[in-house]
Structure 1
Amino acid sequence: MKLVIITSIILTILMTIPTIYYDDIFESDAGFIMSTLTGFIVITVIVTIYLIPTLVAEYRNHRNVKAISVLNLFLGWTFIFWVLALVWAFLNNQEEPAQET
């Protein structure tokens, strides 16, 4: 029972800290909404830039698009592997369409 009460108090304090912080910085709800919207836009742009090698490989119909995607997803945070995935995506290794006989 004591653990539940202590956890409730801690969670309540932790949930009110951001509210107090944002009330001091933003004087209105519009400022909070704009900062949240700006944050979502910035995160979307960063994720899009991060996934450029995967998008290029998919657009070029690369034969190894799955491998490029996995490399980009798991090791792309290191700049070296991101560049490697980008170069690999630009290599001319496209799937050839099936020929009808």
Structure 2
Amino acid sequence: MRYIRAAAKTLLWRIPGGIVQTTMFLVAFAIGLSWYFAPALIAASRRDPNTSAIFTLNLLLGWSVIGWVLAMKRAWSSISY
């Protein structure tokens, strides 16, 4: 527990702008994560019946550009209700 407190003090309070840097990192991470899962989010917003398949494709093969493009194509080409 002592080490966690020391690390938190070092990262957040002793470095000038540590809270700002941490906040900016978390915001950038959230934006990147939402961009990565954009095909799954689009499929969910369009109420696609195959949203879970698109999410799985995006999760497993989205790291490759081809897998992400296939998931995006599948999300946009599906029928919305």
TM-score higher than 0.5 here? yes
**Backbone CA RMSD of aligned residues:** 2.2
How many residues get paired? 74
Percent identity over paired residues: 32
Bigger CA radius of gyration: 1
What 5-or-longer segments of structure 2 have no aligned partner?
none
TM-score normalized by the length of structure 1: 0.63
Deviation at residue 92 of structure 1 after TM alignment: 3.1
1:44 to 30, 34, 39: 30
Letter in 2 for 1:92: S
Q: Which has the higher contact order (CA 8 A, sep 6+)?
A: 2
Q: Identify which range, 46-55 or 85-94, moves more after superposition.
A: 85-94
Trace 1:1-101 onto structure 2 (pairs within 5 A).
19=10, 26=15, 28=16, 31-94=17-80
TM-score normalized by the length of structure 2: 0.78
